[in-house]
Amino acid sequence: MANGKSGDKGLRAIVIGMIVFVITITGVFIYFDKKPATNVASPGSISKADGSGLVFNPELTNQIDIWEDFQCPACRSFEAVNNEYIKKVIAEKKAKVVFHPLTFIGERSSNGVNESIIAANASACAMDEGKFLEMHELIYQNQGAENSGRYSKEFMIMLGIKAGLSSAKFQDCVSNGNYDDWTQASASFAAVKNVNSTPTVTVNGKELSRETPDNDYNNPAKFKAALAAGGIK
């Protein structure tokens, strides 16, 4: 007959084993609940190595990264003064340019609709049809107050028509929010890169200067000089 101590040890081992089992199973569920989805729909022209950003000239070495939120007034100002040169850099294949649409402004929306996601999704839908730069420009030109309801899906479809996007494919992409979940990739990559404000622009990994009053963001000459210093002329 087994003694009481042996029985206690056996029971203790069983209890500890059950606790470890429960903790392990709980950890597995937490991991899969928090793990970013890897099978979300993404635009065709992305680079996973660059945080799933929208990429132009992926074959080039010199690189410009642009983190922006379509509802950000400072982003609109940056786009207004530097957009033409950025388009020239892309067209003349002077650098690889990666756009990272962020959506943090829309997260504070009182109406429960993240307008930054709506705009980012629409830009990605336009990328699929070769009209990202046109849509990008129109979205900023028609920016309203933050979380005002201006950036609706219907409004994005209307802007798309102005950009030459009248296909059912584009309109369905906007209406269905095909790339809404993809926008989370930009947010995750921004956190990894320590990007906490928009716009943020890096040239070969080096962030543009924010020194005031004339910084590299709002002064076209200084912006071009910053790119030139990074080897992009």
What is the reported pLDDT for 39?
65
Sequence-ordered alpha helix ranges (H) in 145-219: 153-162, 168-176, 183-192
The boundaries of the domain holding residue 28 are 1-35
Q: Return contacts of 123-126, CB within 8 angstroms, 24+ apart.
A: 123/54, 123/70, 123/99, 124/43, 124/54, 124/173, 124/178, 124/179, 124/182, 125/43, 125/160, 125/165, 125/170, 125/173, 125/174, 125/178, 125/179, 126/160, 126/163, 126/165, 126/170
Which tokens is 186 given? Answer: 């930009």
Classify residue 224: in a domain, yes or no: yes
Classify residue 41: in a domain, yes or no: no
Classify residue 107: in a domain, yes or no: yes
Same domain, 123 and 189: yes
What is the reported pLDDT for 111?
81
What is the reported pLDDT for 44?
84
Same domain, 199 and 175: yes
Classify residue 40: in a domain, yes or no: no
What is the reported pLDDT for 10?
52
When the pLDDT of each residue in the chain is averaged and rounded to a whole number, the result is 87
Same domain, 87 and 171: yes
Dihedral (Cα; 214, 220, 226, 229), 10-degree rounding: -130
Roughly how many angstroms between the first and final C-alpha of the chain, as a whole number? 89
109-147 residue pLDDT tens = 888 899 999 999 999 999 999 999 999 999 999 999 999
Same domain, 164 and 190: yes
11-48 residue pLDDT tens = 544 544 454 444 334 333 333 333 344 567 888 889 99
| Dist. CA 145–CA 74, nearest whole Å | 12
Choose between 195 and 24: higher pLDDT: 195
Same domain, 3 and 114: no
Rounded to two decimals, the pTM is 0.82
Percentage of residues in the chain having pLDDT higher than 70: 83
Classify residue 16: in a domain, yes or no: yes
Which tokens is 199 given? Answer: 């716009």
What is the reported pLDDT for 42?
86
Q: What is the mean pLDDT of residues 61-81?
A: 97
Same domain, 30 and 97: no
Q: What is the mean pLDDT of residues 226-231?
A: 95
Asked whether the predicted pLDDT for residue 99 surpasses 70, the reply is: yes
Percentage of residues in the chain having pLDDT higher than 90: 75
Asked whether the predicted pLDDT for residue 3 surpasses 70, the reply is: no
What is the reported pLDDT for 37?
43
Q: 33 by DSSP, 3-state: which?
A: helix
| Dist. CA 11–CA 207, nearest whole Å | 61
Same domain, 105 and 25: no
Same domain, 173 and 210: yes
What is the reported pLDDT for 9?
47
Same domain, 57 and 107: yes
204-223 residue pLDDT tens = 999 999 988 889 999 999 99
Q: What is the CATH number of the domain that holds 114?
A: 3.40.30.10
Same domain, 23 and 113: no
Same domain, 62 and 13: no
Number of domains in the chain: 2
Asked whether the predicted pLDDT for residue 51 surpasses 80, the reply is: yes
What is the reported pLDDT for 45?
83
What is the reported pLDDT for 16?
44
Same domain, 18 and 52: no
